Amino acid sequence: MILKEVEAEITGSVWKIEVTEGQKVEEDDVLLIIESMKMEIPLLSTIAGVVKEIRVKEGEDLQEGKVAVIIEE
């Protein structure tokens, strides 16, 4: 079992969460959308697996590098 932390690529706010805990995802699936620089920037899964934990809420501000989602391979 490998846990992969998916970090925010950019500072902004969580505009929309596109997955739920327990959901299966493929590599490059959209996990959530960060609103930053007046754009909707998707945060993509870096591996295929199951969403183990979502560590952010919609509307929340987040810094670049913050772990937003944990995927279990």
Partner 1 sequence: MDTKIEENQKVNELEKEEHIWQPEIDEINKRQEFAEKLGGEKNIKRQHDTGRLTARERIKALLDDNSFHEYGALTGKATYSEDGSFLESTPANIIIGKGKVNKMKVVVSADDFTVRGGSSEAASPEKMVFAENLALDLQVPLIRLVDAAGGSIKILEKNQSTKIPGYAQWNMAEMLGQAPVVGVALGPCAGLGAVRVVASHFSVMVKEKSQVFAAGPYVVGPGVNEYVTKEELGGSQVHVHKSGVVQNEAKDEEDAFEQVKAFLSYLPSNVHNLPERIELEDSVDRCEDELASIIPRDKRKVYNMRKILKLIFDEGSLFEIGKFHGRSTITMFGRLNGYPVGIMANDPYIYGGSMSAESAEKIAYFVDLCDTFHLPVVNLVDQPGVSIGTQAENKGTIKKAINAMMAISQVNIPWSTVFVRRSFGVAGAAYAPRGRANVRYAWPSAHWGSIPVEGGVEAAFRKELSASENSEQELKNLIDYYRKFESPFRTAERFGIEEMIDPRNTRPVLCEWVEEAYALLPQLVGVRKRTMRL
Q: Does 63 bind partner 1 (CB under 8 A)?
A: yes
Which CB atom, from 21 or from 64, has the smaller least distance to partner 1? 64
- For position 48 contacting partner 1 by CB under 8 A, the verdict is no
Q: Phi and psi dihedrals of 43, rounded to 5?
A: -100, 120
Which residue in this structure is represented by tokens 């959901």? Answer: 23
Choose the binding region for partner 1 from 18-26, 34-42, 53-61 (rule: CB under 8 A).
34-42
In degrees, to the nearest 5, what angle opens at C-alpha 20 toward C-alphas 40 and 9? 35
Binder to partner 1 among 21, 26, 40, 53 (CB under 8 A)? 40
Which structure tokens are listed for 13? 């706010």
